[in-house]
Amino acid sequence: TGFGTVVTMPSYRRPLAAVFNPLVDAGFILDRVLEPRPVEAFRASEPETYERLMRQPGFLCVRAVKP
């Protein structure tokens, strides 16, 4: 790709309710939700993908804790 080693990343689209409700139902408390954006260096190698990921994050990171 010009950016580095090609890595195949499986992708699973889920409604947010399908991600969060099982955590809440199991007694977890959401502590943090992050939607990481691509690093600036990625823009030069894949500008279209970079722009899309800036609008539609490709990753969702959730930290949940059980009190």
Could you report the per-residue pLDDT of 13-59, keeping only the tens digit for each? Answer: 899 999 999 999 999 999 999 999 999 999 998 999 999 999 999 89
The residue ranking higher by pLDDT, 28 or 12, is: 28
Number of domain units in the chain: 1
Is 30 part of any domain? yes
Is 36 part of any domain? yes
Rounded Cα distance between 32 and 43, Å, is 27
The residue ranking higher by pLDDT, 37 or 2, is: 37
**1: pLDDT strictly greater than 60:** no
The whole-number pLDDT of residue 2 equals 59
* CA-to-CA dists, residue 24 to 19, 28, 36, 63, angstroms: 10, 5, 23, 12
The whole-number pLDDT of residue 17 equals 96
Q: What is the pTM of this model?
A: 0.71
Q: Tell me the residue range of the domain where 46 lies.
A: 16-65
